Structure 1
Amino acid sequence: MLNQKKPLIIGVTGASGLIYAVRSLKYLLTADYHVELVASKSTYIVWQAEQNIRMPPEPDKQEQFWRQQADVPTSGILRCHAWSNVGAGIASGSFRTLGMIIIPCSMSTVAKLAGGLSSDLLERAADVQLKEGRKLVIVPRETPFSLIHLRNLTTLAEAGARIVPAIPAWYHNPQTIEDLVDFVVVRTLDQLDIDCTAIKRWE
């Protein structure tokens, strides 16, 4: 039995830090959520650069790919979409969702969303969340932020998006890279009222 009837959209861009997307998928699918995933065109390049792994372009093969990376072979529902398929269901406001997380989110994507541009499915899906008043969580992975970055992020925050920078903490006594990543994932899922118990919370 699935945890939620409505799906959650995960957008993955070409920012460094694909492990954030992988760990998010791991916890969502393990908890039997329904995830609709769209990776931007640049994501293919980053997988090759960071992990020397080729991400397949076909949506059905992508599902197997992401499940393998997250080590969740069967739980939950995962449906992948080609970045160019702007006619997919997640591009429509009539497609009901829990919201959308863009993790990691590049500054290029931030700029396009702040400017109201929708050149691919990921950007269109995010724009739909904003116009429908649904939850959109942006996880930017960049440092330092330029004034342009900050202004674009402010524009998105003013439009209703939640900004969760990929900045880990140490009060939960992290021992591994995954512990540091999971802190960001937990705080991201908190924005959607999804309780992820991957780390020990502050008491």
Structure 2
Amino acid sequence: MEPQDDNPSQPGVARPGGPPARPAAGSADVPRRPWVVGVSGASGTPYAASVVRGLLAAGEAVDLIVSRASRLTLLDETGISFRDAHWRADLREWLARGADGKPGTFGITDADLDLVRYWPAGDLAAGPSSGSYPVKGMLIVPASTACVAGVALGLSKDLLQRVASVTLKERRRLVVAVRETPLNGQTLRHLVTLDEAGAVVVPASPAFYAGATHIQDLVDFVAGRVLDAADVPHRLYRRWEGELGSGSKEGN
């Protein structure tokens, strides 16, 4: 029997004179493969916070892009100023806030934040701007109609749009959580273009069969559907089980 060190099939072990070793699972040589979360300027920053919390709870790494317009929305909806130089502290405050605006609703740890890498929206040389940068896909939540138009037309006016274009060309998962009503014909055509290009369009439309009793339940339903489209496991909402009236049962 050959010694184990000469076994070319063993991850992390190279055969003398043979090809380079495959990295062992969980080793430092295994590249980080995050989900890119892009936050555009549409109303709905609690949706983004819920999606990011869901990804972190599932142990997923996150690359975060917050557009310039979304900072104004975030300030208006939560009172939080998101700053490049203090993004970690601002993100902690944002993720900890409930959909009802109550601070400290969710516990966010340093370990959670260690899974996040932040890229300024104006940094077109950022890692995710290249197809060679390893990512699992991209979730745009919420997606404004301007963002939808830019991605559908292949524009790259900022990092968010550039990464979306890269995601499509690399045939990776792109989930677009559009948040606007009503939708005009032009936006509907842009959404069809995204669908035909391989994106998954998830309107930010909460359902009520899951027994929502709080605004957070409605937000988490939409966030959960976004994660469903990305095949990320979560427990953000109670799933339909085929029993009528179960959403109104006491205790749900």
Residue identity matched to 1:67: R
Superposition pairs for residues 41-56 of structure 1, below 5 Å?
41-56=68-83
Task: Measure how far apart 1:112 and its partner are.
Answer: 0.7
Q: Give the Cα–Cα distance (whole angstroms) in 2 for the partners of residues 173 and 57 of structure 1.
A: 38
Which residue of structure 2 lines up, in the alignment, with residue 177 of structure 1?
A: 215
Q: CA deviation at 1:176?
A: 0.6
The correspondence of residues 87-106 of structure 1 with structure 2, limited to 5 A, is 87-106=125-144
The CA distance in 2 between the partners of 1:202 and 1:5, in whole Å, is 34
Superposed, 1:34-45 pairs within 5 Å as 34-45=61-72
Corresponding position: 1:141 with 2:179: yes
Shift of 1:161: 0.4
Aligned pair 1:189/2:189, yes or no? no
Query: Computing the radius of gyration over CA atoms, which structure comes out larger, 1 or 2?
Result: 2
Q: Which residue of 2 aligns with 1:155?
A: 193
Q: Which string of whole-angstrom CA distances, capped at 9 and with x for unpartnered residues, describes residues 65-95 of structure 1?
A: 1122213222340011111000000000001
Q: Which runs of 4+ in 1 moved over 3 A?
A: none
Q: For the Cα contact (< 8 Å) 1:6–1:97, is it kept in 2?
A: yes
In the alignment, is the contact (CA less than 8 A) between 1:98 and 1:192 conserved in 2?
no
Does 1 or 2 have the higher relative contact order (CA < 8 Å, sep 6+)?
Answer: 1
Residue correspondences, number:
199
Query: CA separation in 2, counterparts of 1:164 and 1:42?
Result: 21
Rounded to whole Å, the distance in 2 between the matches of 1:139 and 1:15 is 10
Q: In the alignment, which residue of structure 1 is the partner of 2:93?
A: 68
User: What TM-score, normalized to structure 2?
Assistant: 0.76
Which secondary structure state, in structure 1, belongs to the residue aligned with residue 64 of structure 2? Answer: strand
Distance in 2, Cα, partners of 1:79 & 1:5: 11
Match of 1:15 in 2: 42
Cα distance in 2 for partners of 1:8, 1:80 equals 12
Shift of 1:198: 1.4
1:164 and 2:189 aligned? no
Give SS of 2:110's match: coil
Q: TM-score, normalised by structure 1?
A: 0.94
Aligned residue for 1:75, secondary structure, equals: helix
Quick check: 190-199 or 98-107, which moved more?
A: 190-199
User: How far apart are the structure 2 equivalents of 1:52 and 1:187?
Assistant: 27
Q: List alignment gaps of at least 5 residues for structure 1.
A: none
Identity rate of aligned residues, in percent? 40
Report SS of the residue matched to 1:9.
strand
1:6 maps to 33
Counterpart for residue 125 of structure 1: 163
